[in-house]
Amino acid sequence: MRSDMKKVVVERPRGQSYVPNRKFGARLRYVPGHDYEEQPKRVGISASYRDYGYSEKWLTDLLGPLKRFLQSRTGQSWNDVYSEMCAGLDKRKTTGQHIFGHMKQMVATNCFIGNNGRVWQTRWREVEVEGFYVHPQTGVLCHAPRPNKRAFKRQRMLAEEVIWLKIDDASGYRKHSGIWYHAYFRKIFVSHYQQPEIVRDIFLKKDVRLNYGWNLLLVTKKQCNRNELRRVQYMLQKQRWRIERI
């Protein structure tokens, strides 16, 4: 660990450090004829004079060096890494306590093996580990990459079952009970000033009530033939290709 870790992480100007402080402390004026020893010596700082709102300041700790240090020690025993930090930082001082507080937020130590064989952590609830963690069996410092939002969206979209493929504004392919149908539909708009009417659902084979706004009402259907099934497979592959490029 670098020797100037305690300075690099915490010794940086606070946010809006250029804004002057509004707090003050003034001595009370001496009043003749009163017992000076029983009077307060200073004026308390009112809440209206503290650094809130526009003049608020915040900490701007530089956590990059600490993260790089933990990343470089990945695969080593957590006891050795913790001992190295204790040797370079003084936990009795404010700077050392502050850096160790950031370290506890970065590294998950209360972990266990779940039923699915993956490592979970317990903080406010049980979740799978993300970032740095200590393996519950080996005691080694490990790192689990955080899930990419785009990859998570791609995985969710690929896992969803496709039951509707649009051809044009009046027709499309609809999957029902594992069978693809060539369905024709029409759009119906129901305003809030109208009473939604009851129509017949040709797939569910029962009467349903329309919702307010635009509704897609299927009029007729027929089971897809071989050529239409080939087109359905082509459209599914094309849609999957577009999702994989997200």
Q: Look up residue 228 and give its two tokens.
A: 């239409």
Share of the chain above pLDDT 70, in %: 78
For residue 102, which phi and psi values (nearest 5 degrees)? -65, -40
Is this prediction's pTM over 0.85? no
Q: Over the stretch 83-99, which tens digit does the pLDDT of each residue have?
A: 998 888 888 888 888 88
**What is the pLDDT at residue 203?**
81
**What is the pLDDT at residue 49?**
47
**175, β-bridge pairs:** 180
Q: Over the stretch 109-134, which tens digit does the pLDDT of each residue have?
A: 989 998 888 899 887 788 888 889 99
228: left (phi over 0), alpha (psi -120 to 50) or beta: alpha
Greater confidence (39 vs 221) lies with 221
**For 221-226, what is the mean pLDDT?**
93
Residue with tokens 């956590």: 63
Residue 224's pLDDT band (boundaries 50, 70, 90)? very high
Residue 75's pLDDT band (boundaries 50, 70, 90)? very high
Q: Over the stretch 124-164, which tens digit does the pLDDT of each residue have?
A: 788 888 889 999 999 999 998 887 888 888 888 988 999 99
